[in-house]
Amino acid sequence: MGVSMLVCMYVCVCVCVSSQLHNLEVWVYEEAPEVGGEANVYVHHELVLPNFPLCIEWMDCDPRSAQDRGNLVAVSVTHTHTHTRTRMHARRGYVYRVDGL
């Protein structure tokens, strides 16, 4: 007779921002499978963002496809347009698939 273990897994999506690099990170926390065991924390996905992020949101469906479902993260980032005298800031959106957890 085999022994089955139930391990709880939690997912945290965050953005890490520095002066030169902006990352979207998907962290996974796994509880210890047994009493006295060790928990596990690791970065499952790390994506470089093109510009400074404004907000992130988890979605279970892809807005680009009516049938496509899964774990997705929508990210809104700043985008700078440089004109002759003014700088305009606009928003751009991206959707990243983070399946495989």
Q: What is the residue extent of each domain of the chain?
A: 9-97
Give residue 18's pLDDT. 87
Give residue 73's pLDDT. 84
Q: What is the Cα 79 distance to its own chain's centre?
A: 19
Q: Which residues are within 8 A (CB) of 67 and not within 5 positions of it... i.e. 6 or more apart?
A: none
- Find the angle CA(14)-CA(7)-CA(101) to the nearest 5 degrees: 45
CA distances from 49 to 67, 79, 92 (A): 26, 11, 11
CB 28 within 8 Å of CB 101: yes
Give residue 101's pLDDT. 53
The low-confidence residues of the chain, meaning pLDDT below 50, are 84, 86-89
In angstroms, the CA 36 to CA 56 distance is: 36
Does this model's pTM top 0.75?
no
Give residue 78's pLDDT. 81
